[in-house]
Amino acid sequence: MAKSKYEYVKQFELDDSLLPNTWLVVRIDGRGFHKFATAHGFTKPNDRPGLDLMNACAVAVMKDIQDVVLAYGESDEYSFVLHRSSNLYTRRASKIASTVVSLFAASYVFLWSRHFPEKTLQYPPCFDARVVCYPSDSNLRDYLCWRQADCHINNLYNTCFWEIVHSGRSEKEAEDELRGTVASEKNEMLFSRFGINYNAVPEMFRKGSVVVREEAEVTSLSAKTGLEVVRRKRIPTVLHVDIIGEEFWKSRPELLGS
Amino acid sequence: MAKSKYEYVKQFELDDSLLPNTWLVVRIDGRGFHKFATAHGFTKPNDRPGLDLMNACAVAVMKDIQDVVLAYGESDEYSFVLHRSSNLYTRRASKIASTVVSLFAASYVFLWSRHFPEKTLQYPPCFDARVVCYPSDSNLRDYLCWRQADCHINNLYNTCFWEIVHSGRSEKEAEDELRGTVASEKNEMLFSRFGINYNAVPEMFRKGSVVVREEAEVTSLSAKTGLEVVRRKRIPTVLHVDIIGEEFWKSRPELLGS
Amino acid sequence: MAKSKYEYVKQFELDDSLLPNTWLVVRIDGRGFHKFATAHGFTKPNDRPGLDLMNACAVAVMKDIQDVVLAYGESDEYSFVLHRSSNLYTRRASKIASTVVSLFAASYVFLWSRHFPEKTLQYPPCFDARVVCYPSDSNLRDYLCWRQADCHINNLYNTCFWEIVHSGRSEKEAEDELRGTVASEKNEMLFSRFGINYNAVPEMFRKGSVVVREEAEVTSLSAKTGLEVVRRKRIPTVLHVDIIGEEFWKSRPELLGS
Amino acid sequence: MAKSKYEYVKQFELDDSLLPNTWLVVRIDGRGFHKFATAHGFTKPNDRPGLDLMNACAVAVMKDIQDVVLAYGESDEYSFVLHRSSNLYTRRASKIASTVVSLFAASYVFLWSRHFPEKTLQYPPCFDARVVCYPSDSNLRDYLCWRQADCHINNLYNTCFWEIVHSGRSEKEAEDELRGTVASEKNEMLFSRFGINYNAVPEMFRKGSVVVREEAEVTSLSAKTGLEVVRRKRIPTVLHVDIIGEEFWKSRPELLGS
């Protein structure tokens, strides 16, 4: 049973290395999450434990893969940014994307019960992944703006939509009523009709979640002395902040730095 | 917060469609499974529940993705074959590979307790995935031969290795002793020194696992009459058989057929 | 002036190897040939010396690149077929396509005066090139059928078009008259109105040109004896035959053979 | 002869678009130019009319393809830089590379007699082409530095090599003598042994050729008035200057500008 006569089949594995010196963004996306959300009774428009679980998975990915410098999540999707200098898996696209999505999906099941202690997971979720190169810092920032603007637009719409539905209308009626409305009209509707100040909606829902490595004090026991040791370490930390403006980037020059 | 001015970033997502009319093989591979096996006390050289769990995940993938016509697994890897006529996700490489690996990894955690009722999963496993095109039927069969020959060679080696170690030698000594030996010498060693007829080793270990859709009788209750209904359905079924010879393929002409 | 500190830029050259064991077709296409034909007073709908020149360039390419087993040309395009077993330039797409198009374009200028002894070349022509993989013999044959059917359809249309124009109508009128007509109507128009039996139109125009390596007697002088030596060699030979039916392929089993 | 049943073969043409917002460099390279140079009696180490012809071809390419902002040539190779904002042929790699190499190779034959009025072209030359993306301005400049440093190193070596050979040694002896020598030793050898001040060697040989679009006065006859009209136009212009230092780029801010 000589393996060697079959080994030629390895030649069919073509190289899929990504262009060096570009930002790599791995975006994972829930497949069939509408059905998944229904099957698990997720709250509409935002399910807090569900989003917390997504964030916990993102943190798990970042703890495992050091080359991820930032992650951004909203709804059932998450984007992971690898630094332009990263040489992870010699930048092979399939290797990078599959490792990230595998860790994320497996963590989702693994961490489920921590976030849903009273709910049984009915079936494992599924995510797809792709990896995209962005050549300039400004392209990368525009990518993240695109996702955060998407989060805002969807959340404003969904907040209105579910308020209308919860007020007794059908989903069809809610859709019809919202068709063609602009942001200011939706804000006004929420305020005058449902008594909701959109700006008071939790930032997690309006801005999505950003994970960056923030310095924090970490306390541990010294193996040698048995005493508590306090060290400063960079820990993946979930924030709900604006990443479109300059502020976020100015206060974290290391993110885009080399 | 106009999304439109950022939407240009979508153009950076390049098309990664795979060549039509070629067999697609998605191979997933455990990352750091040596450590994972140790952390979970897997039996050496083969852990039966561990392999059963891998097979259960492969079945879950095939139940979800109809375009997979056959899967082959050994050790911590699994190959999924999509028919050359498949147009799944318009044959986008990243979409196909990430969906398969996501389902597999999430199923691994989801199904863990069914296969290891007494063991707690310490941390989620990780798999990578790649997708490879094979133009001809014979290239595809050679690919599968390559994996099954690899299974055989590794299992024969590992069986010897662990017998030597279990007999009191160090891993280094076992390695030294096996260096340069050919198959017949390993067979002889197993027989004369450890009383093992290698051909009596379970086929699951020697041949790996093949999953194909086999027709089976499925019994269900009719919603109308309340009576039992028996139907013949094609069900992903795990086999431990030779796929190098002609027999397997001759008796399943539909596998390579159009 | 140390070169080494800049050599990292070589890493940006990504591998573009083509899938092994697939037929490779390099198709080159004239850029702006309508203008080129006008500038050089080419006869419409077919310029015999112009087509002869295209064929001579194809022969030159085949004399240089042994891996090309067949070429097919019509109008201002030519397709070169490399055998599925070819490993030319380790199957790098850009290397293969650029070499073929460079040879073709340079030969066009080099051989111009032989085919147009009385016409001065006004400016060098331009061709683009792409390379496409075809996994099965039948895909390859369908590709060639596609091009030969294209030749037929265009030539029938153009023959009618220019007869109408030469009979005194404007190009616009000819276009209007032909819009929506089927093949039989065009044949009938040629016969009844212009006295042309389409089947008597030269096969070069109706079928395009196929170049294959045909065995022929080659006479040369022996360096040793000074006497004439006759040998049988395979020489790129231009044919104007049907390649859609079986006949062409049956009589040349070596084309698709291994 | 329905074309439609064959048109499915178009699906096998996979998209090869290049990443947006990256500098594109098309490098063409002579194939077998050692033999070509010998067949045409080119002077060693540099053949002035041969290099002039290369430059004329580069100018022809730039006159045709406006997206090329700069070209750099040395020996039998030429690099063409397309601006990062270029959308030529929707950035399809094969289309861009093949068009450039086709124009270059055809121009080489077309312009031959102008540069070699007394020499007959024996056979058409051949060039291959590849296209490479460079994400940052500094990557692009490093690429060009790499080529100009290569030019310098080769020319210094070749100048020594041919002086030694012309002084009566064999090529083998020249090679042996130069093995392991550093730049300063080669400079010294040229000066003390052959009376050559390397810095007095023409800059075309030492620095290669840069083609940029320089503003120049262009005189033409007005079609309306019949009088001479002088306009300022940007004309592809061949320079032999240093492009490694800052000077070249500082004085041409439009090159890297948007």
Q: Which residues of C touch B84 (CB under 8 A)?
A: 135
- CATH code: domain C16-161+202-207 is 3.30.70.3000
For residue D225, report the phi and psi dihedrals to the nearest 5 degrees: -95, -15
Cα distance between the two ends of chain D: 51
Torsion from C-alpha of D197, D199, D201, D202, nearest 10 degrees: -160
Neighbours of chain C (3+ CB pairs under 8 A): A, B, D
Q: Is B30 annotated as a binding residue?
A: yes
DSSP for chain C reads --SGGGGGGGGGS---BPPTTSEEEEEEEESSHHHHHHHTT--SS--HHHHHHHHHHHHHHHHH-TTEEEEEEETTEEEEEEPTT--GGGGBHHHHHHHHHHHHHHHHHHHHHHH-TTS---S---EEEEEEEE-SHHHHHHHHHHHHHHHHHHHHHHHHHHHHHHTT--HHHHHHHHTT--HHHHHHHHHHHH---GGGS-HHHHH-EEEEEEEEEEEEE-TTT-SEEEEEEEEEEEE----SSSHHHHT-HHHH--
pLDDT of residue D226: 86
Whether residues D136 and A135 touch (CB distance < 8 A) is answered with yes
Q: How many CB pairs under 8 A join A and D?
A: 25
- Quote the tokens at residue C28: 């080159």
Q: Which residues contact C91 (CB under 8 A, 6 or more apart)?
A: C17, C18, C19, C20, C24
* Residue type at A74 in one-letter notation: E
The verdict on A155 touching D (C-beta cutoff 8 Å) is: no
Reduced DSSP (H G I as helix, E B as strand, rest coil) percent helix, strand, coil of chain B, to 5: 50, 20, 30
Task: Measure the CA–CA gap between C149 and A243, rounded to whole angstroms.
Answer: 56
The verdict on C11 touching A (C-beta cutoff 8 Å) is: yes
The mean per-residue pLDDT over the stretch A91-113 comes to: 98
**Which of C25, C86, C133, C141 to mutate to test binding with chain B, by most B CBs within 10 Å of its CB?**
C133
- Quote the tokens at residue A209: 């979640």
How many other β-carbons are positioned within 10 Å of the β-carbon of residue D83? 18
**C-alpha R_g of chain B:** 22
Shortest distance, CA D229 to any CA of chain C (angstroms): 26
Nearest to C27 by CA among C153, C156, C152, C143: C143
How remote is the C-alpha of B108 from its chain's centroid?
12
Q: Quick check: D142 and C4 in contact, CB under 8 A?
A: no
Q: Quick check: A174 and A161 in contact, CB under 8 A?
A: yes
Average pLDDT, chain D: 96
pLDDT of residue A98: 98
Neighbours of chain B (3+ CB pairs under 8 A): A, C, D
Select from A9, A104, A131 the Cβ nearest to the Cβ of B139: A9
pLDDT of residue B1: 63
List the Cα angle B38/B42/B48 in 5-degree steps: 160
Q: Which residues of A touch C13 (CB under 8 A)?
A: none
**C-alpha R_g of chain A:** 22
Q: Which residues of C touch B133 (CB under 8 A)?
A: 19
The verdict on C136 touching B (C-beta cutoff 8 Å) is: yes
Task: Measure the CA–CA gap between B108 and D22, rounded to whole angstroms.
Answer: 41
Select from B13, B93, B105 the Cβ nearest to the Cβ of A102: B105
Q: List the single residue in A with minimal CA-CA distance to B145.
A: A6
Task: Measure the CA–CA gap between D46 and D34, rounded to whole angstroms.
Answer: 12
The verdict on D75 touching A (C-beta cutoff 8 Å) is: no
Burial class (CB in 10 A: 0-12, 13-18, 19+), D233: exposed
Domain positions in chain D? 16-161+202-207
- For A12-44, give one letter per residue: b (16+ CB within 10 A) or e: bebebebbbbbbbbbbbbbbebeebbeebebee
Whether residues A17 and C14 touch (CB distance < 8 A) is answered with yes
Task: Measure the CA–CA gap between A14 and C256, rounded to whole angstroms.
Answer: 25
Question: Any bridge partners for residue C228, and if so which?
Answer: C221
Q: How many CB pairs under 8 A join C and D?
A: 163
Task: Measure the CA–CA gap between A83 and A257, rounded to whole angstroms.
Answer: 9
State chain D's maximal CA–CA distance in angstroms: 77
Q: Which residues of B touch C137 (CB under 8 A)?
A: none
- What are the 10-residue block averages of pLDDT along chain C, 258 residues in total? 87 98 98 97 96 98 98 98 98 98 98 97 98 98 97 96 96 96 96 96 97 93 88 95 97 91
Whether residues A1 and B183 touch (CB distance < 8 A) is answered with yes
**Which of D6, D9, D13, D14 to mutate to test binding with chain B, by most B CBs within 10 Å of its CB?**
D14
Whether residues A15 and C12 touch (CB distance < 8 A) is answered with no
Shortest distance, CA B87 to any CA of chain D (angstroms): 12
pTM of the model: 0.95
Cα→Cα distances A40→A6, A44, A48, A74, A125, Å: 47, 12, 13, 18, 11
Task: Measure the CA–CA gap between D13 and B94, rounded to whole angstroms.
Answer: 19
Select from D124, D131, D143 the Cβ nearest to the Cβ of C94: D131
3-state SS assignment for residue A179: coil
**Can you give the pLDDT of all 258 residues of chain D as single tens digits?**
677 899 999 999 999 999 999 999 999 999 999 999 999 999 999 999 999 999 999 999 999 999 999 999 999 999 999 999 999 999 999 999 999 999 999 999 999 999 999 999 999 999 999 999 999 999 999 999 999 999 999 999 999 999 999 999 999 999 999 999 999 999 999 999 999 999 999 999 999 999 999 999 988 888 888 889 999 999 999 999 999 999 999 999 999 987
3-state SS assignment for residue A109: helix
Burial class (CB in 10 A: 0-12, 13-18, 19+), B162: middle
Nearest to D137 by CA among A21, B124, B230: A21
pLDDT of residue C158: 96
Q: Which residues of D touch C126 (CB under 8 A)?
A: 64, 99, 102-103, 106
Q: Which residues of C touch B135 (CB under 8 A)?
A: 19-22, 84, 135-136
How remote is the C-alpha of B90 from its chain's centroid?
24
Neighbours of chain A (3+ CB pairs under 8 A): B, C, D
Q: List the single residue in A with minimal CA-CA distance to C10.
A: A20
The verdict on D6 touching B (C-beta cutoff 8 Å) is: no
Shortest distance, CA D86 to any CA of chain A (angstroms): 14
Task: Measure the CA–CA gap between C14 and C8, rounded to whole angstroms.
Answer: 13
Q: List the single residue in B with minimal CA-CA distance to D9.
A: B20
pLDDT of residue B41: 97
How remote is the C-alpha of B165 from its chain's centroid?
27
Q: Strand locations in D114-223, DSSP E? A: 127-134, 209-221
D77-82 β-sheet, strand order: D127-134, D23-30, D77-82, D68-74, D209-221, D228-239
The verdict on B237 touching C (C-beta cutoff 8 Å) is: no
Q: Which residues of D touch C156 (CB under 8 A)?
A: none
Burial class (CB in 10 A: 0-12, 13-18, 19+), A97: buried
Select from B11, B19, B21 the Cβ nearest to the Cβ of D14: B19
How many other β-carbons are positioned within 10 Å of the β-carbon of residue B11? 15
Whether residues D19 and A139 touch (CB distance < 8 A) is answered with no
Task: Measure the CA–CA gap between C178 and C173, rounded to whole angstroms.
Answer: 9
Nearest to C178 by CA among C197, C170, C204: C170
Nearest to D49 by CA among D204, D166, D199: D204
Q: Is D32 annotated as a binding residue?
A: yes
For residue D66, report the phi and psi dihedrals to the nearest 5 degrees: -65, -25
Q: Is D41 annotated as a binding residue?
A: no
Q: Strand locations in D66-110, DSSP E? A: 68-74, 77-82
Torsion from C-alpha of C154, C160, C162, C167, nearest 10 degrees: 180
How remote is the C-alpha of D79 from its chain's centroid?
5
Select from C12, C17, C21 the Cβ nearest to the Cβ of A14: C17
The verdict on A11 touching C (C-beta cutoff 8 Å) is: yes
Which residues of chain B, if any, have pLDDT below 70?
A: 1
Whether residues D136 and A136 touch (CB distance < 8 A) is answered with yes
The mean per-residue pLDDT over the stretch A24-46 comes to: 97
Cα distance between the two ends of chain C: 51
Nearest to B107 by CA among A109, D130, A23: A109
